[in-house]
Amino acid sequence: MALELQIQLIQSGTWILIVTAAAATLALAPAFSTAFGQGYAVGKAVESIGRQPEAHGGITSTLLVGCALAETGGIYGLMIALLLIFLNPFFNAFLSFITQMGLY
């Protein structure tokens, strides 16, 4: 029974879609860590401006550059997730593999 279900999943291509969705979810992990890191950086910048208000220009410019650099990891993760979801480069390779194995 379990083998028949596995063969059905392979033939329908559902398994590769499940794995792709899981990979896209993992690819979004940098976006969440980026958000936490930027929140921490902004909090520390506001704290330091509160202690030394005359240095707000340098602190703000450094903060903006740092946040822009930190955001690139989140953007790359989002791009990979979108590519996996909408272009799905593994689906055609998967179909050719199961065709060669005689399962489709």
CATH number at residue 75: 1.20.20.10
Calculate the CA dihedral of residues 76, 81, 87, 91 and round it to 10 degrees. Answer: 130
In a domain, 2, yes or no: no
- What digits encode the pLDDT tens for the residues 55-87? 989 999 999 998 888 888 888 888 888 888 788
What pLDDT shows up at residue 53? 92
In a domain, 18, yes or no: yes
In a domain, 1, yes or no: no
| 33 vs 54, more confident | 54
Query: Which domain covers residue 86, as residue numbers?
Result: 7-101
Please say whether the beta carbons of 101 and 6 come within 8 A: no
Tally the domains of the chain: 1
**What Å distances lie between residue 78 and 33, 86, 88, CA to CA?**
12, 12, 14
What pLDDT shows up at residue 46? 92
CA distance 96 to 104: 9
